[in-house]
Structure 1
Amino acid sequence: LTQVYCTHSEPDYSLPWQKQRQFMSTGSGFVISGRRLLTNAHCVEHHTQVQVKKRGDDTKFVARVLAEGPDCDLALLTVDSEEFWEAVEPLKFGSLPRLQDPVIVVGYPMGGETISVTSGVVSRIEVTSYVHGASELLGVQIDAAINAGNSGGPAFNEEGECVGIAFQSLKDMDVENIGFVIPTAVIFHFLKDFEQNGRYTGNIFLNFLSVQSGFPSLAVWWQKLENSAMRASLKMKSGQKGVLIRRVEPLAPVASAVKAGDVLLSFDGVPIANEGTVSFRTGERIDFEFLVTQKYVCETAELELLRDGKELKVQTVFKPPVRLVPVHLASKMPSYFIVAGLVFVPLCFPYLESECDLGEAEVSGKLREIARNGMVEFEDQQVIVMSQVLAHPVNAGYENLQNVEVLTFNGEKIRNLRQFSRLVDSCTEEFMRFELERHILVVLETKSARLANEQILRDFHVPSERSLDLVEGHTPVTSHEINGRDALPGSIQPAAAA
């Protein structure tokens, strides 16, 4: 077992040309085979330095982050010092526990400097919302206390085998001692993905679009079919069960085989119930999307559908899932572009949270809806937002505008920030016209706007009018933008670093 010490330096999403003040945190971790350590991704997010200390040792060793999986809240570390690995034995993994099985959680939570041990039992096993990654993966709920600093610590069964990693807890006045553990099935998926590809496929950036997860998604929105009239309207026969496909993501491979209005009857030969569950273990059922998350990128699956009363089978391949609004920008500074004091940024969840925690009136209902439910319609799509106006006489009258989507520039639809910046750079018209949501129009005189830009940058101590990734000739960094998040942050919180 190790204690993890991390120095974080997060971007300032409200002022995207700079970073926030760095801060320190501690978490837990443990050694596995291959001279590696496992911990939670949120323990090392935006890290500038990571150190680890073995139990009973007084020396901290510098660690390197090999892979981060924000979607599954896992991170893989290593230590280059040979001294660290002396007399170190890796933990052995066990299988998925059963309900009421006893578990012991070990880590370094707040309240002391030494190791802490808490015990409890498995109270629930189901597809769980992973708060840090905004993903839905298999999780184990336990009644052992998981507090800040416990993150990344192992959970053991009675045989001393590691059956999971502590990662989040439910904080509410009406509940106590509800903690969550990442089971070995998710851990093995993360490790195998890394070992097969030399990196984690859920942590890459592909031509403006950011990969949501190394765990595939079927890329459809579905609805339960528990109402008999609904089933009859879909021409389902007696005994037929399944779920109704309501939306299909346009760029997903499944879009070529599945249509909205289809009934999904089975996945890889496993029948799906009207409530959306499949048989799991003896006497247990689980959300059918668990079967989807067991797949790897580029693997295939057979779907049995009911379309217009006729059964058919189709094949689909799984590609890295993407979402329109990123959840994380791990190790990547936000993009921005400034025109005459008007600050434009791509919409992402960290930006929304930093601005108004997704709940303030300043964020329009449209932006919140896009963040929750937006789908990518073309390959280089981004949602561009005017975040604020750096006040100057050239933009007088617009200084109160903030957090509004930009729709067009001089009549041309905005695809992404790079295309938008090129449109502005190449503008030869007398006026620049920015059409925003809610039918708002911003007009600037082109010549005056360009002349004022340099002075505005000096006045507000902004080093450049655009982020480095928008500079012509610059090759974007190929990594670290993670999409996702179907819902607003809830009361379930990562066990967090102390």
Structure 2
Amino acid sequence: MSKPESESSSSSVIKSYKFRHGRTPIKKGYEANAMHNTAVDLALNSVVKVFTVSCSPNYLLPWQNKSQRETTGSGFVILGRKILTNAHVVADHSFVLVRKHGCPTKYRAEVKAVGHECDLAILVIENEEFWDGMIPLELGDVPFLQEAVAVVGYPQGGDNISVTKGVVSRVEPTQYVHGASQLMAIQIDAAINPGNSGGPAIMSNKVAGVAFQNLSGAENIGYIIPVPVIKHFISGVEENGKYIGFCSLGLSCQITENVHLRNHFSMRPDMTGVLVSKINPLSDAYKVLKKDDIILSFDGVPIANDGTVPFRNRERITFDHLVTMKKPNEKAIVRVLRDGQEHELSVVVQPIQPLVPVHQFDKLPSYYIFAGLVFVQLTQPYLHEYGEDWYNTSPRRLCERALRELPKKANQQLVILSQVLMDDINAGYERLAELQVLKVNGTEIDNLEHLRQLIESCDTEFLRIDLDDDRVIVLSYGMAKVATSRILKRHRIPSSISVDLLDTE
């Protein structure tokens, strides 16, 4: 899957998107032309071009940002005087402008809500002049296979509006590249080019989805975010005043297609389901379900041995889709087979954050510096600094923990010593970088703020820090405190502590 598509307006910072140029299939006849005309008519009074100035943080040097860059995308007006676009179009934004079709003026926009998991964002514009003549688009239904849609937006290659026609070829949960989440998506046989992101896919006279990414290495395969995901995002924002997230059971499940596996767990021939292999300790399921339970059904819908449930006209979809479409703190009825006995259990579904965050958009990374030792929270964006092939080039132990380790308690973080800013005080410790921090003066740390508190409240002559791999750092506490300001000044670092940690003081 390629990265989400938004277009850079500066040639020096254009991303290397892996879309392939090719002919877009054109459906001939009256129906195709009628759809094209409808899409154009709707688009002229609804679809806008979004101009974003963004500034991403530098995770290896967390006290500074990377260079500013300019990108463009698309968006469209929905009910309530809002503009819907992609989250990746406005991620890490510092300034957002919007221009409507046929108008030379750009209007300042504010980002009201962002859902990075579902790659959606809502913009609002206060200027009354902008709304003159703008017509909101209505959300429709999920299109069936082989139905035609028209994707409208402002792709690269020109400044005017563009309409691309395609046919729905697949509807299933797909990896959302921007938010690293698995949600329902619609695959169409039309390329979603850079700049198209956030534009509507129109079927008849309603929105069938939002264009957001394409498939790298494939000819004209694009993806759109379907209406159920859009409605879930919008209703969540309206009910809570902000984006809350998509729910999860907090489970890792294994398919039960092997007959010996099913026999071992006493599954009758008429039974189907999936095997619970791991449960997140922070989830409600941790109190209700057990490892080796067989989940037979979710909210009365039987789960097949391959983990799928019925969907529409003889289609199937993974049962995770049923979970993600539920509201936070809503109850679900789960039927399980445990030790040969069937049980009907009630589980509360909630958005569950992983131990190591998969993204950190629109916020600065946390850091704490003491005696030249730079401590940070481990996040996947930190590992992404090792390049496109970060899975193979980043520190192996950190990568494995980021992808597989589960939290043991709330507010837990994996804290690492990311680098050592050289000085006499820390000479000999420079090779201990990129190791997890376990203890400070014998106390196990919970998170970065806890580490800071333990260091700053040290009342002994020596400060001892225990790291992963049985490594130890010992410093004269008094000398280390004096050295900290000297090192900060030498490296032109404005503060030894990130703003978010300062706010907790």
TM-score (norm 2): 0.89
Q: Give SS of 1:448's match.
A: helix
For structure 1, which runs of at least 5 residues remain unmatched after alignment? 202-213, 477-498
Report which stretch shifted further, 394-403 or 417-426. 394-403
Give 1:491's aligned residue.
none
**Partner Cα distance (2:321, 2:263) in 1:** 28
Higher helix share: 2
Q: What's the offset of the Cα at 1:433?
A: 2.0
**Partner Cα distance (2:259, 2:337) in 1:** 16
Give 1:115's aligned residue.
161
Counterpart selection for 1:164 from 199, 202, 209? 209
CA offsets 1:336-384 (integer angstroms, 9 cap, x no match): 1111101000011111112455637763322111211221211120000
Counterpart AA for 1:162 = V
Report which stretch shifted further, 329-338 or 93-102. 329-338
Counterpart selection for 1:279 from 286, 295, 310? 310
Counterpart selection for 2:373 from 321, 342, 345? 342
* Matching of residue 200 in structure 1 with residue 243 in structure 2: yes
Q: Give SS of 1:164's match.
A: strand
Counterpart selection for 2:254 from 211, 223, 237? 223
Structure 2 vs 1, CA of residues 412 and 361 (structure 1 numbering), >3 Å: closer, same or farther? farther
Give 2:23's aligned residue.
none
**Partner Cα distance (2:248, 2:84) in 1:** 25
* Matching of residue 43 in structure 1 with residue 86 in structure 2: no
Q: Give SS of 2:366's match.
A: coil
Higher relative contact order (CA 8 A, sep 6+): 1
Give 1:183's aligned residue.
226
**Partner Cα distance (1:362, 1:277) in 2:** 35
Q: What's the offset of the Cα at 1:439?
A: 2.2
Counterpart AA for 2:440 = F
Report which stretch shifted further, 403-412 or 270-279. 403-412
Counterpart AA for 2:328 = V
Report which stretch shifted further, 387-396 or 302-311. 387-396
Q: What's the offset of the Cα at 1:119?
A: 1.3
Give 1:34's aligned residue.
80
Q: Give SS of 1:189's match.
A: helix
Tell me if structure 2 keeps the 8 A contact 1:39–1:74: yes
Structure 2 vs 1, CA of residues 453 and 475 (structure 1 numbering), >3 Å: closer, same or farther? closer
Q: Give SS of 2:225's match.
A: strand
**Partner Cα distance (1:120, 1:320) in 2:** 34
Counterpart AA for 2:269 = S
Q: What's the offset of the Cα at 1:440?
A: 2.0
CA offsets 1:51-106 (integer angstroms, 9 cap, x no match): 10001111101111110000100000111011111111111221100111111111
For structure 2, which runs of at least 5 residues remain unmatched after alignment? 1-46
Structure 2 vs 1, CA of residues 257 and 345 (structure 1 numbering), >3 Å: closer, same or farther? same
Give 2:292's aligned residue.
261
Give 1:366's aligned residue.
397
Structure 2 vs 1, CA of residues 38 and 463 (structure 1 numbering), >3 Å: closer, same or farther? same
Give 1:9's aligned residue.
55
**Partner Cα distance (2:189, 2:292) in 1:** 41
**Partner Cα distance (2:393, 2:361) in 1:** 26
Give 1:22's aligned residue.
68
Counterpart selection for 1:124 from 157, 170, 188? 170
Q: What's the offset of the Cα at 1:294?
A: 1.1
Give 1:92's aligned residue.
138
Counterpart AA for 2:53 = T
CA offsets 1:205-240 (integer angstroms, 9 cap, x no match): xxxxxxxxx110111000000000000000111110
1:210-249 pair list within 5 angstroms: 214-249=245-280
Counterpart AA for 1:110 = Q
Counterpart AA for 1:149 = G
CA offsets 1:88-141 (integer angstroms, 9 cap, x no match): 111122110011111111111111111122111111110111111111111001
TM-score (norm 1): 0.90
* Matching of residue 63 in structure 1 with residue 94 in structure 2: no
Tell me if structure 2 keeps the 8 A contact 1:363–1:403: no
Q: What's the offset of the Cα at 1:395?
A: 0.9
Tell me if structure 2 keeps the 8 A contact 1:352–1:358: no
**Partner Cα distance (1:393, 1:407) in 2:** 24
CA offsets 1:267-293 (integer angstroms, 9 cap, x no match): 000000000000101211110111111
Q: What's the offset of the Cα at 1:429?
A: 2.3
**Partner Cα distance (2:62, 2:300) in 1:** 48
Superposed CA RMSD in Å reads: 1.4
1:297-308 pair list within 5 angstroms: 297-308=328-339
Give 1:208's aligned residue.
none
Q: Give SS of 2:385's match.
A: helix
Tell me if structure 1 keeps the 8 A contact 2:249–2:350: no
* Matching of residue 410 in structure 1 with residue 441 in structure 2: yes
**Percent of pairs with identical residues:** 47
Tell me if structure 2 keeps the 8 A contact 1:38–1:74: yes
Q: Give SS of 2:109's match.
A: strand
**Partner Cα distance (1:255, 1:105) in 2:** 43
Q: What's the offset of the Cα at 1:428?
A: 2.3
Q: Give SS of 2:358's match.
A: strand
Q: Give SS of 1:351's match.
A: helix
* Matching of residue 377 in structure 1 with residue 408 in structure 2: yes
**Partner Cα distance (2:340, 2:48) in 1:** 58
Tell me if structure 1 keeps the 8 A contact 2:282–2:352: no
Counterpart AA for 1:278 = V
**Partner Cα distance (2:468, 2:332) in 1:** 41
Aligned residues: 459
Tell me if structure 1 keeps the 8 A contact 2:190–2:221: yes
Report which stretch shifted further, 54-63 or 322-331. 322-331
Q: What's the offset of the Cα at 1:424?
A: 0.7
